[in-house]
Structure 1
Amino acid sequence: MKLVVRVKLLPTPVQAAALEATLHACNQAATWAAGVAFEENARRPLELRKHTYVEIRFRWGLGAQAAQHAIKKTCDAYTTLKANLRAGRYGRPGTRRHTRASGKPVVFRPDAAQPYDDRMLSWQHQARTISIWTTAGRLKNVAFTGQAEHLEVLAAHRKGESDLVCQGGKWFLIATCEIAEATPNTHPAGFLGVDLGVVNITATSDGVRHAGRGINRMRENDRKLRSKLQKKNTKSARRRAKKYAGKEARRARDVNHKISKRIVAEAERTGRGIALEQLTGIRERARLRKPQRTTLHSWPFAQLGSFIAYKAKKAGVPVVYVDPAYTSQECSKCHHTERGNRPCQAVFSCRVCGFVDHADHNASHNIAHRGWYVWVCGAQSTAPELNLIA
């Protein structure tokens, strides 16, 4: 399976200037190539290469491999845009957002990621340095650092391209690693149901809940601060907003990693699989009041699900996805389904058999039951191929 390791570069000021110039040149070339692709309707690498390769080489001074990657990056961006338009992520055809997205060429940020292959980048793991191509020539002895366990994975399993990224003035390399999968558990002793929510981020069928009250309070404070700074719109306010940019996303990512690690460890220890809700399209299905929409849509449930999936795949734990419809209204004992079974948010009380339980705990049992039925019917475990572990 594929994982991604992010290492931090420690360039000198001269090396950082060369990396910055290289990144800007590559993205300017890719933006120009995107304009040509839009005008000529050449969205495939071979077609676009005929129109742009020579110009990119001599106009921006890119090497042969860098020019090839800039062209491929442009084509990949149009492929992604086409998929997003088809999936409806920019609204329906004819809407303003859809027209704005499809009616102009793709533009790359000056500091957008640039891919590097083994011809442009070499690693010296013992010395913890790299040799990397730039428009100013080959830079050698550029130091890098990272967590010890991540560097071990990098040294043993790195394979394929690495992306050069600049974030907040700091330089990173995101490297792809190919590691062997654990032997899958083909005979699980049941399934651990996981119910996702807002009040409780997760609730498992073992009765373990990861409360979201404190996290939601911090998220609300972040939103208020962001709104206050946007309204003020002074130089100092913009500077402060930039400082706090991404803080909520980083916190959510950290929480999702911790929760997913605990869930997978418990399933692996008990020899069970994991049953998750299939939440694709939840934003379109969920009918909530405006304040509730903000809370629901801002937490990255898809990220949490992908973290659980890839960690489970790494550990050999099977993962199945079930239909989430009415899991919160169905009794896990007699399976009677009724809206009145939920007298309040936290309580489930069946009107037929009288069973009473915490609502999220009851829903997680229903998810676990459905997960077993899905497994018996022959469903396969699914997990994303690429996720950050650093």
Structure 2
Amino acid sequence: MKLVVQVKLLPEPEQASALEATLHACNRAATYASHIAFAKGLMERNRLQKEVYADLKAAFGLSAQPTVRAVKKVVDAYATLKANLRAGRLGQSTSKRYRKAVSTPVAFRPQAAQPFDDRCLSWQYDARTVSIWTVDGRMKGIRFTCSADQLKTLVQYRKGESDLVQRGGKWFLIATCDMPEPDLCEPVDWLGVDRGIVNLATTSDGTNFQGRRLGRYRRWQARKRTELQAKGTRSATRRLARRAHKERRHATQVNHRISKEIVSVAQRTGRGIAVEELGGIRERVRLHRDQRGTLSSWPFRQLGQHLAYKAKRAGVPFLEVDARHTSQRCPRCGHTERANRPDRDRFRCLRCGLAGPADVVAGVNVRNRARSAWVLVTAPAPSP
């Protein structure tokens, strides 16, 4: 399985200047190559490299291998654009966003990430330094910092390219690690997880991860965002961007904590993890105007992604099951009716009288559906 490890670089001032000049030069070269590729229809790597190789080396001060990386970045960008257009992620062919994407060449920001392979970048794990090619020559002894677990992962599994990234005046290296996948255990049962807004996650065991603190934090951020937007100054715009990154990091940390605890419980008890399939929920659900911002900023998809990759890394089976009526169906008698859930927090079956917290009941239904789905998944194929 592929994982990425992000480490923070601690360059000296002259090293930081060289890194910034290198990033800007590589992205200018990539933008130039992108214009050539768009104008002449050269979307294949070999043909584009043959066309622009000499120009990139002469005009932008790149050596051989960074030139090759810049060309590959351009080709990959157009391949991604083509895939997004085909999947409809940029709207219909008549939309303004679609027409702009197909009528203009791809451009790269001066601070866009730049990939480096092992010919341009080497790691000294014991000294916690890296040596990297720059337009000012090879820079050696650039310190980096990371946790002990990250360093262990880098030493054992780092493979392929590493991306140089500048964010908020800070420098990072994002390394790709190819880790072996552990064998999935045969689950003795399933741990159902119901995701929500008020309660971010509720398990079939009754464990509840409330979203009140995250909700209060986001409402406070929304008020500050409104105040800054009303100012409209350049300083306010910069502060808005910093606040947006900070809020995103906070939500990601909450999801990491929740998913780590759920996977730990499942691994310890020998169970698999089951969640609801919530794809397309924004299109299916109609909301009042004041609820749209809450749903749009709800990080349910990220929580599901964290659960999936952490479970895979731990060898815990992971399933997504049908989400229909999980909060309205009685897990004991099977009676399904909207009136079984008189309000957001309570569930009471009108047929058999089963009552309890609505989110826990939903988690139990998710668990029961995972039991049935796993039997179908692991059933032997019929003999011909």
Q: Assess same fold via TM > 0.5.
A: yes
User: Shift of residue 152 of structure 1?
Assistant: 1.7
Deviations 1:348-368 (A, max 9, x none): 122222211211111111111
Q: How does 1:109-148 map to 2 (within 5 A)?
A: 109-148=109-148
Tell me if 1:66 matches 2:66. yes
Rounded Cα–Cα distance in structure 2 between residues aligned with 1:97 and 1:227: 27
Q: How does 1:202-281 map to 2 (within 5 A)?
A: 202-281=201-280
* Counterpart for residue 296 of structure 2: 297
Rounded Cα–Cα distance in structure 2 between residues aligned with 1:56 and 1:334: 70
Tell me if 1:82 matches 2:82. yes
* Counterpart for residue 322 of structure 2: 323
* Counterpart for residue 382 of structure 2: none
* Counterpart for residue 359 of structure 1: 358
* Stretches of structure 1 lacking an aligned partner (at least 5 in a row): 381-390
Question: TM-score, normalized by length of structure 1?
Answer: 0.93
SS for the counterpart of 1:172 is strand
User: Shift of residue 155 of structure 1?
Assistant: 1.6
Rounded Cα–Cα distance in structure 2 between residues aligned with 1:50 and 1:217: 56
Which AA in structure 2 matches 1:320? L
Rounded Cα–Cα distance in structure 2 between residues aligned with 1:379 and 1:90: 38
* Counterpart for residue 182 of structure 1: 182
**Which one is further off, 301-310 or 81-90?**
81-90
Rounded Cα–Cα distance in structure 2 between residues aligned with 1:156 and 1:239: 39
User: Shift of residue 140 of structure 1?
Assistant: 0.7
SS for the counterpart of 2:132 is strand
Rounded Cα–Cα distance in structure 1 between residues aligned with 2:98 and 2:110: 24
User: Shift of residue 240 of structure 1?
Assistant: 2.9
User: Shift of residue 379 of structure 1?
Assistant: 6.6
Contact 1:320 1:371 in 2 (8 A): yes
Rounded Cα–Cα distance in structure 2 between residues aligned with 1:79 and 1:290: 37
**Which one is further off, 28-37 or 7-16?**
28-37
SS for the counterpart of 2:319 is strand
**Which one is further off, 331-340 or 269-278?**
331-340
Q: Structure 1 residues 49 and 365 mapped into 2: Cα distance closer, same or farther (>3 Å)?
A: same
Q: Structure 1 residues 286 and 257 mapped into 2: Cα distance closer, same or farther (>3 Å)?
A: same
* Counterpart for residue 51 of structure 1: 51
Rounded Cα–Cα distance in structure 2 between residues aligned with 1:36 and 1:307: 40
Which AA in structure 1 matches 2:36? V
Which AA in structure 2 matches 1:118? D
Rounded Cα–Cα distance in structure 2 between residues aligned with 1:142 and 1:54: 30
SS for the counterpart of 1:244 is helix
Which AA in structure 1 matches 2:210? A
* Stretches of structure 2 lacking an aligned partner (at least 5 in a row): 380-384
Rounded Cα–Cα distance in structure 2 between residues aligned with 1:368 and 1:297: 27
User: Shift of residue 40 of structure 1?
Assistant: 2.0
Deviations 1:251-295 (A, max 9, x none): 011001000000000000110001112222222122212222211
Question: TM-score, normalized by length of structure 2?
Answer: 0.95
User: Shift of residue 239 of structure 1?
Assistant: 4.0
SS for the counterpart of 2:377 is coil
Which AA in structure 1 matches 2:244? A
Which AA in structure 2 matches 1:180? P
Q: How does 1:338-377 map to 2 (within 5 A)?
A: 338-377=337-376
SS for the counterpart of 1:246 is helix
Which AA in structure 2 matches 1:218? Y
Rounded Cα–Cα distance in structure 2 between residues aligned with 1:288 and 1:379: 39
Rounded Cα–Cα distance in structure 2 between residues aligned with 1:350 and 1:81: 50
SS for the counterpart of 1:130 is strand
| Cα root mean square deviation, aligned | 1.6
* Counterpart for residue 173 of structure 2: 173
Rounded Cα–Cα distance in structure 1 between residues aligned with 2:14 and 2:57: 24
**Which one is further off, 175-184 or 191-200?**
175-184
* Counterpart for residue 312 of structure 1: 311
Rounded Cα–Cα distance in structure 2 between residues aligned with 1:138 and 1:5: 23
Rounded Cα–Cα distance in structure 2 between residues aligned with 1:92 and 1:116: 36
Q: Structure 1 residues 79 and 283 mapped into 2: Cα distance closer, same or farther (>3 Å)?
A: farther
Contact 1:117 1:162 in 2 (8 A): yes
Identity, in percent, stands at: 54
User: Shift of residue 46 of structure 1?
Assistant: 2.0
